[in-house]
Structure 1
Amino acid sequence: MTSSQTIVAIAVPLEAEHVERIRAVDPSVTVLYEPDLLPPERFPADHSGDPDFQRTPEQEDRYWEMLNKAEVLYGFPNESPSGLARIAGSNPHLQWIHAMAAGAGGAVKASGLDSHTLQKFQVTTSAGVHALPLAEFTALGILNGFKRSAELAQDQAAKAWPELRVPTRLVNGSRLVVAGLGEIGLETARIARALGMKVSGTKRSVAPIDGIDEVADNSGLAGLVASADAVVNTLPGTPYTEKLFNREIFSAMKPGTVFINVGRGTVVDEDALLEALNNGQVSYACLDVFAVEPLPQESPLWNHPKVMVSPHTSALSAAENRLIADRFCSNLRTYLDGGELPHLVDTLHFY
């Protein structure tokens, strides 16, 4: 239960209109918000803000003094694992932090906090906020692969009009496998079914899902991809998903499979993916995430003719700040009513 007055501090850049909506959740809520202490956004939902922004020593003291008064934080301090580690040690009132990312478990793990400290407060994620833009990006990847957009772009650049006409593939009636049938995966499945695809996928707890032909756990992934025309990864980066897409999984795919990754780059063995691209097992890869980000300049993925590189921006939309604030306001109502917060970071598996 909370005290009669609940203090919320805004730790990351946020428009004043959204701050006012948080204030309006309940009269017992006090929101601490000092925009001059927060870096300006360079683009919509730029939660880290301008990297050149620097607080004066006096502003730095004010920033941490503000955060240390709060019971609830909107965002990690300085949007960083080190900021999370610092506030966990300095704020005795802290009960709950809402993270901007859907996959905030990685940042919680990177903070280096021990399990005892992590039991003192809750961390919720913005999971689900990004489901629709990621699902639409996945549809883009599927259509690009089936409709040969990479080859068309190359021909256009060369002003080449091939004498032999090459057919495209029908998405309707094809099979999609979604690794990770969470909110992103289910939204992806919804759009894929609207295109006429048959969808199967994986989930940690195997149970029938309406509209999904077959559900397996990750140990059954090789069996699922064997009949797939397209495969999408939405899984977070955890020790259990590290390089899940390895040589064995890519070898199990049908030649010509289209592969999309909107989960985390660490889930894919990039050397194995390159082999699969070069031997035709994968005909096209649409990648928004990578094992190392930014993608190193020397990576062959940059120039591969069958690869689209997206700089981890496919979840970004102009509506993101509003949607995250909506999610936070809903969670804050639940918190004030003593309910169970959704989308808690698992501090054992860090997702």
Structure 2
Amino acid sequence: MKEMIKLTAINKSFGDVSIIKNLNITIYQSEFLTMLGPSGCGKTTTLRMIAGFESPTSGEILLDEKSVKNLPPNKRKVNTIFQNYALFPNMTVAENIAFGLKMAKVPKIERQKRVTAMLKLVQLEGYGKRKLDQLSGGQKQRIAIARALVNQPQVLLLDEPLSALDLKLRKQMQIELKRLQRKLGITFVYVTHDQEEALMMSDRIAVMNQGHLEQVADPQTLYEKPQTRFVANFIGESNIFYGKISTVVDDLAEITVENGYLAIKTATDTINKDQIVNIVVRPEKIKLSATEVEHFHLPAKISEHYYAGNVRKTVLKLPNGMELKMNTPSEQTLLPVGKEVFVYWNPSDAILVKSDSNKIFKTIKNTDFEPIK
């Protein structure tokens, strides 16, 4: 697969503040890659460096296997769509789309032909003569997309372009953006802090945290096999236990945790007895029993139920105050609030994430729990 963008050992600082720290990532031709992370993690700064609006403090950026170190933004075969669209309010729709072509001195007949094609592509045929104040938010977003695509860039950079739209329109535009990307075969680099949006649209997701690249993988791998505690917590809902491996028999490991013990199936050549680990269990994998289940000792009390459409969300409170999240289908009968139960799951449904620490510290305030010796 052809490499379209390659960032090698990228560092970026503003004064004494380090924003990007040794970032290495390759983005391929025709790929939809999303840079995902909380505010301030460095994803927009990375996008701006690819576009040429910022320069890395150190490191190398290649576009189509050529260095862009000395290329200004207008010389890179890259276009950017910003959160605020950056359209010209005094121009018609067609004039907005044609602006870049006009600056590039494309002949008028060719400009008209390409503008007409773009309007058809974004499903706004007949809107060319309209002013921007006659358009909805979703239509303005499509115009911004058309203007970015009309110059036939190799890469389209999108900086949280849907964040200003209402929920229903945002969902619709997610589908349309993905449809456009597949149809055109252009490399999309998309920035968002919305993990659901990233999971739905992306071929791969690069999860960033405080300037570091935590993990890059396809959506299913990120959800089912997170490599770090941050990724497990940021992608979807998670229940995370901290504990020490007490026994390993065949592929079944038993973990001593603050609230008791639990089990997980994992490759035995990757773990050791007494190793400190994080155990991630998704809410839909949690099960309840009236009695203890072999290899599990996690007593809990049902604290709350919430209705969320196709699922009901249950909060389970453990003896030390730690809360677990559990999702069940809406049609399933729920146990009453206050009921005492035992928590378990299929050991193969849990995810083991190695810990960077060699101790288990208190995770719940105001308890008598101490680190496991």
TM-score grouping bracket, smaller chain normalisation: under 0.3
Q: Which has the larger radius of gyration?
A: 2
- Greater strand content: 2
TM-score by length of 1: 0.24
TM-score by length of 2: 0.23
- Greater helix content: 1
